[in-house]
Structure 1
Amino acid sequence: MSHYTQWYATPGGQPRLLLVDDHQLNIRVMYEMFRHEFDVFIALNGEQALEKCYELHPDLILLDVVMPRMDGYEVCRRLKADPELADIPVIFITSHFDEADEVRGFELGAVDFIHKPVNPIITKARVKTQLQLKQQADLLRTISQVDGLTGIANRRRFDQQLELDWRSCCRTQEPLSLLMLDIDYFKQYNDEFGHLAGDECLRQVAKTMQQAMGRPYDLLARFGGEEFAVLLPRTDLTGAQYLAQNMLQKIVQLALPHPLTPGGIITLSAGLSSTVPQEQNQPRQLLQQADQLLYKAKQQGRAQLQSSHWAGV
């Protein structure tokens, strides 16, 4: 990162705006325009812009069209081709007015064009409008990805996040761990106490597991019925084992009565698989490995964790 870029980075709790332009004078003008209302980050070329998108996942990108080596169109194309980055709105900044160029930009996925010299009032209004639209879209997406009973992520969100985490860890060659958990003898619990009590049990278990999660980018999801799944990117087998054992212990400490289990309380069985993702493998294979280990935990007496490292194929 250049000294210039470091000087302009203003981390905080506001929306993150990425400015991409190879001319530092243009950057300075845009930075002064937005620095009081947004966290502003800078990229001076296309390659740096893509790096910062992976690092920061900005809320909006103001992207110059004409840049050396990689122009704005190519940056936008690569962003929209990557599911990890495709939802970031892109506004092109250009000194040329050409309908064909604008059509090309919109076809690539841009949400707006702003022409130089920029009008501060109009530019800020357009940026705020796109941020509001993104916020609304994010809210709707979140609602559609939450399990209605437990309030944690649902299967749809899990499937999407597994793909994203797999791609990310494959790119960085960092470990990805996947934990599958199942409430022991849950059918018998429902038969004994009724489905309303079963629903409350699911809520209590989900809440307790969520409290045991350590990092904001780890994901706990209801996989289906009484089964849960945990995604742990950038976590090796040892770290994932620690979290999994802690999670099982927290459920034991919860001490929800279940007279039809050997210990008289609700317990969990768990299967854990960890790998460093490779392009020749698929995320569903890691899921299958974790599911097989969960089955092994059940076969060997339940209320336990079975885990292993998966080397791929």
Structure 2
Amino acid sequence: MMKNRSVILIVDDEISNIEIMSAALEDDYEVCFATSGEEALAVAQSVLPDLVLLDVLMPGIDGYEVCRRLKKERLLADIPVIFTTGLNDQEAEVRGLSVGAIDYVTKPIQPVILRARVANHVELKRLRDQLAQMAVTDALTGISNRRHLEQTLERETAKLASTGEWLSVIMVDIDCFKSFNDTFGHPAGDRCLAMVAAALTRAVHLASDLAARYGGEEFVCVLPGRDLEAALEVARDIQVQVNSLNIPHPVSTVSPNVTVSLGVASACCLPDMTASQWMAHADRQLYLSKRAGRNEIFSTVFTAQEDGFATD
């Protein structure tokens, strides 16, 4: 499904209704459809539409129940739902709004009204998505912030625990950054942070990966599905990408250019493990890297029984 245009999911057990709505919208949107509640939930999970046009009365689970289930799913809860129904009464509208619908369109469908309602709610969703993205983005570097990092790590550890898959975390620290700031000033330090963040995003490039600013000159990369060997490849690429920036750092005790130290922690996810374990182990490895002279990569594979380590 192409995502350069907004995606509209039409759910109706009458093919003729789907055809009318699709004809009204297909010039401006990518349109997909389902003919039952069960199919609608499956399609929504796979496509992640920008808006759902949902029939109220369908065989099997009705539109009200479909809407309730959509709103319970983390990935689907923010998708606006417009009910399409012939039940032109206030009680039906109140019930629909109470389960999470954002609007109503009555049948028979009027294409002009449908297009206007859909356009309004798609635009509102776009603005909400922008605000949500701003809330989880580090303003200086443009990558994810600590809040988004913590949310992502919690989600990934819970998700991967069901299958026992690998998860790796890389902690990255810019070497001798305080002396860099003291020498060149904070504006130059900010530019350095932004350039290193861009280098991280070039190394951490899979759709499931995350690069985030943890705070100050520290960054964290979350690599779902990556074992230690794969994570070390990413860590080495991070070093290469940062070195290739050739940012002068004449007062560094490590190199004439800006370098980074890295700590890598990998484990198979299990139900009793917490996101804080990956952070603690990666932090310990970062500490060892810096103690060994900086511009190093230290790593570990840990198990559910192991506790984290303090770095002081």
TM surpasses 0.5: yes
Distance 2:193 2:287 in 1: 20
Distance 2:164 2:41 in 1: 18
Distance 1:284 1:46 in 2: 39
**1:155–1:221 CA contact under 8 A, matched in 2:** yes
Q: Which moved more, 1:243-252 or 1:120-129?
A: 243-252
Deviations 1:52-101 (A, max 9, x none): 33322211111222333332222222222222222111111222234333
Aligned to 1:297: 289
Distance 2:271 2:80 in 1: 28
Per the TM alignment, residue 194 of structure 1 is displaced from its structure 2 partner at its CA by 2.9
Distance 2:294 2:147 in 1: 27
Per the TM alignment, residue 172 of structure 1 is displaced from its structure 2 partner at its CA by 6.9
Q: What TM-score results when the alignment is normalised by the length of structure 2?
A: 0.85
Match of 2:195 among 190, 195, 204: 204
Aligned to 1:6: none
The SS at the match of 2:123 is helix
Aligned to 2:299: 307
Q: Which moved more, 1:211-220 or 1:147-156?
A: 211-220
Gaps spanning 5+ residues in structure 1: where? Answer: 1-9
Match of 1:60 among 43, 47, 51: 51
Per the TM alignment, residue 311 of structure 1 is displaced from its structure 2 partner at its CA by 4.4
Match of 2:260 among 268, 275, 285: 268
**1:17–1:60 CA contact under 8 A, matched in 2:** yes
Per the TM alignment, residue 132 of structure 1 is displaced from its structure 2 partner at its CA by 0.7
Distance 1:220 1:13 in 2: 24
- 2:92 is aligned with 1:101: yes
Report the AA paired with residue 295 of structure 2: A
Per the TM alignment, residue 134 of structure 1 is displaced from its structure 2 partner at its CA by 0.8
Match of 1:116 among 107, 112, 116: 107
Distance 1:235 1:204 in 2: 25
Per the TM alignment, residue 201 of structure 1 is displaced from its structure 2 partner at its CA by 1.6
Report the AA paired with residue 223 of structure 1: Y
Call closer, same or farther: CA 1:131–1:173 in 2, change over 3 Å: farther
Match of 1:31 among 5, 22, 31: 22
Call closer, same or farther: CA 1:303–1:54 in 2, change over 3 Å: farther
The SS at the match of 2:289 is helix
- 2:172 is aligned with 1:181: yes
Per the TM alignment, residue 126 of structure 1 is displaced from its structure 2 partner at its CA by 0.5
Gaps spanning 5+ residues in structure 2: where? Answer: 306-312
The SS at the match of 1:254 is coil
Aligned to 1:190: 181
Call closer, same or farther: CA 1:245–1:144 in 2, change over 3 Å: same
Aligned to 1:231: 222
Call closer, same or farther: CA 1:202–1:110 in 2, change over 3 Å: same
**1:145–1:157 CA contact under 8 A, matched in 2:** yes
Call closer, same or farther: CA 1:193–1:49 in 2, change over 3 Å: same
Per the TM alignment, residue 157 of structure 1 is displaced from its structure 2 partner at its CA by 2.8
Per the TM alignment, residue 40 of structure 1 is displaced from its structure 2 partner at its CA by 1.1
**2:254–2:295 CA contact under 8 A, matched in 1:** no
* Equivalent runs, 1:5-154 vs 2, <5 Å: 11=2, 13-154=4-145
Call closer, same or farther: CA 1:183–1:135 in 2, change over 3 Å: same
Aligned to 1:3: none
**1:270–1:304 CA contact under 8 A, matched in 2:** yes
Q: What TM-score results when the alignment is normalised by the length of structure 1?
A: 0.85
Q: CA RMSD in A?
A: 2.6
Q: Which moved more, 1:246-255 or 1:297-306?
A: 297-306
Per the TM alignment, residue 169 of structure 1 is displaced from its structure 2 partner at its CA by 4.2
Distance 1:20 1:174 in 2: 35
Distance 1:172 1:69 in 2: 31
Q: Percent identity?
A: 41
Count of paired positions? 304
